[in-house]
């Protein structure tokens, strides 16, 4: 029963939308920036809508099937939350979300199979990292240029290393032409790259995080992610892999908020 609920929760793309919201929120929190409620609604709502587009709309249109009413309801709900938030934002935010939206539409074509940026060899992981990083960073652009570049690098690496366990799991399911990192380098080498990225991220954490409590929380999250990379296998249950990887930003945000409240 619990497994079925977790599976449905992940299949709805709600979990990854919450993960995106938490990732954006915790990076802002590290620099003492509180995202407005409307901006959080935009990130969560449009993030949920984007993943619904890829996981529901694209397959339905390609297979010329009728969409279930539950899927229609979730798409409309995500759209409503996103629109509710963005109508209160300045033009700059509209342009940023518009750019990310265009990348999302180009990521996979709903009209022709195996068309879109996702199917450009090795590009998939970087497109996802770019979209997440843009949404996570535009609220902290007032930092110095050097700090912002370090934060951009850190954000991209965080998303890249979170995706490696998912690509390891999907190595036998992904089309060979995708040429994901595990397909190109093998599972062992892809994991070694993940470990190297984790070391770089630990160094960046010491450079970019001023609050000591938040620093050690981030180091703990990196160790947690390293453990997930270590244990993931090609035959791991998909919802288990997705659940734990995408739960890390949520856990990171929750512990960070508690630390700031009581420390």
Q: How far apart are CA 256 and CA 250, in angstroms?
A: 10
Specify the range with the lowest mean pLDDT, choosing from 7-16, 135-144, 213-222: 135-144
**Residue 76, both tokens:** 């409309």
**pTM for the whole structure:** 0.91
Q: How many residues does the chain have?
A: 263
User: How much is the average pLDDT of 24-50?
Assistant: 92
Exposure string for 240-262, b = 16+ CB within 10 A, e = fewer:
bbbbbbbbbbbbbbebbeebeee
User: How much is the average pLDDT of 195-209?
Assistant: 94
| Contact call for residues 204 and 218 (beta carbons, < 8 A) | no
What phi-psi label fits residue 186: left (phi over 0), alpha (psi between -120 and 50 degrees) or beta?
A: left
What is residue 27's predicted lDDT score, i.e. its pLDDT?
92
Reported confidence tier of residue 199, pLDDT bands at 50, 70, 90? very high
Has residue 64 got a pLDDT over 90?
Answer: no
Contacts with 230 (C-beta within 8 Å, 6 or more apart), sequence order:
191
What is residue 84's predicted lDDT score, i.e. its pLDDT?
95
Has residue 63 got a pLDDT over 80?
Answer: no
What is residue 100's predicted lDDT score, i.e. its pLDDT?
93
Reported confidence tier of residue 237, pLDDT bands at 50, 70, 90? low
CATH number of 2-262: 1.10.600
Give the tens place of pLDDT for each residue, 79-89: 999 999 999 89
Domain boundaries, the chain: 2-262
Give the tens place of pLDDT for each residue, 159-172: 999 999 988 887 87
Reported confidence tier of residue 44, pLDDT bands at 50, 70, 90? very high
Has residue 21 got a pLDDT over 90?
Answer: yes
Percent of the chain at pLDDT above 90? 49
Identify the top-confidence range among 70-79, 166-175, 239-248. 70-79
What is residue 78's predicted lDDT score, i.e. its pLDDT?
94
Has residue 145 got a pLDDT over 80?
Answer: no
User: How much is the average pLDDT of 139-150?
Assistant: 70
Give the tens place of pLDDT for each residue, 96-144: 999 999 998 888 777 667 677 877 777 888 999 999 999 998 877 655 5
**Residue 63, both tokens:** 């297979």
Of 186 and 67, the structure prediction assigns the larger pLDDT to 186
Cβ neighbours around 70 below 10 Å, total: 11
């Amino acid at each position: 029963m619990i497994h079925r609920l977790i599976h449905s929760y992940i299949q709805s793309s709600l979990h990854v939308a919450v993960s995106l919201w938490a990732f954006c929120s915790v990076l802002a929190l590290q620099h003492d920036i509180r995202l407005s409620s409307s901006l959080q609604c935009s990130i969560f709502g449009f993030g949920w809508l984007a993943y619904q587009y890829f996981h529901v709309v694209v397959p339905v249109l390609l297979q010329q099937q009728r969409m279930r009413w539950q899927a229609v309801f979730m798409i409309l709900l995500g759209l409503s939350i996103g629109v509710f938030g963005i109508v209160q934002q300045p033009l700059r935010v509209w342009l940023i979300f518009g750019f990310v939206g265009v990348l999302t539409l180009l990521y996979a074509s709903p009209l022709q199979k195996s068309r879109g940026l996702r199917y450009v060899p090795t590009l998939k992981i970087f497109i996802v990292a770019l979209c997440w990083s843009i949404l996570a960073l535009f609220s902290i652009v007032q930092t110095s240029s050097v700090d912002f570049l370090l934060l951009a690098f850190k954000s991209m690496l965080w998303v890249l290393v979170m995706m490696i366990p998912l690509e390891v799991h999907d190595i036998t399911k992904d089309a060979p032409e995708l040429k994901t990192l595990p397909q190109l380098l093998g599972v062992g080498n892809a994991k070694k790259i993940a470990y190297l990225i984790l070391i770089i991220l630990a160094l960046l954490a010491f450079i970019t995080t001023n609050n000591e409590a938040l620093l050690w929380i981030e180091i703990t999250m990196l160790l947690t992610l390293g453990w997930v990379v270590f244990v993931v296998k090609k035959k791991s249950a998909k919802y288990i892999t997705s659940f734990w990887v995408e739960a890390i930003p949520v856990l990171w945000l929750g512990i960070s908020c508690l630390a700031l409240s009581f420390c």
